[in-house]
Amino acid sequence: HVDMPAWIAIGILPMLSLFAGILLSIWMSRSVTRPFSQLAEAAHNIGKRDLTYRVQTGGSLELQALAQSFNRMAEQLEQAETTRRNLIADVAHD
């Protein structure tokens, strides 16, 4: 005689554990790759001359340092572009 609820538990619990593991791994992989996707999007926008674009700092210390460095670079590029435009305007005016 086989106890049916025990048989169901033996069959369902491994499947539920597998499903939970898959969902957890998907969530973890997205949380790891999200900052890199944002950084790639920021680089793309900077490449299109949107020098006002900044990256949100978050994640591990290394990712925060990378985001801060990227934002400093973008700020310096924006200042250089402003200086260049002002210089060209001054030269054109004279």
What string of H, E and C letters represents the secondary structure of 45-65?
HHHCCCCCCCCCCCCCHHHHH
Amino acid 1: pLDDT: 57
Q: Is the pTM of this model over 0.85?
A: no
Judged against a pLDDT cut of 70, whether residue 2 lies above it is answered with no
Q: What number is the average pLDDT over the span 37-52?
A: 92
Q: How far apart are CA 77 and CA 55, in angstroms?
A: 15
Average pLDDT, the chain: 88
